[in-house]
C-alpha cells in the first residue's frame, strides 16, 4: 500500500492524507489512522474510513 501526502498550497496548515489503516473499536466503530513520516492523525467513524481526509497540521498526534 502506498501512502500519499498532498499539501494544499493555499493553506500550509492543512494536509490531505490518504490510504488509512483501519481498526475496529470495542464499541463497533472504525478507527482510521492516517500517518506519514511527519504526522499521525486518527479519525473515528461509524462506517468505512474515507480514502482521503484533510487535517490541520497543528492537530497531529506527533
- Please compute the mean of the pLDDT values over residues 36-53 and round it to a whole number: 96
Position 9 pLDDT exceeds 60: no
Provide the domain limits for residue 14: 5-59
Whole-prediction pTM value? 0.76
pLDDT for 10: 53
pLDDT for 25: 95
Position 39 pLDDT exceeds 80: yes
Instruction: Please classify residue 15 by burial: count the beta carbons closer than 10 Å to its beta carbon, then call 0-12 exposed, 13-18 middle and 19+ buried.
Output: buried
pLDDT for 4: 61
CA dihedral defined by 42, 25, 47, 11, rounded to 10 degrees? -10
Amino acid at each position: 500500500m502506498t501512502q500519499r501526502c498532498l499539501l494544499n498550497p493555499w493553506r500550509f496548515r492543512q494536509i490531505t492524507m490518504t490510504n488509512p489503516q483501519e481498526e475496529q473499536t470495542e464499541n463497533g466503530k472504525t478507527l482510521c489512522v492516517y500517518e506519514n513520516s511527519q504526522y499521525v492523525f486518527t479519525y473515528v467513524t461509524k462506517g468505512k474510513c474515507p480514502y482521503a481526509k484533510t487535517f490541520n497540521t497543528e492537530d497531529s498526534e506527533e
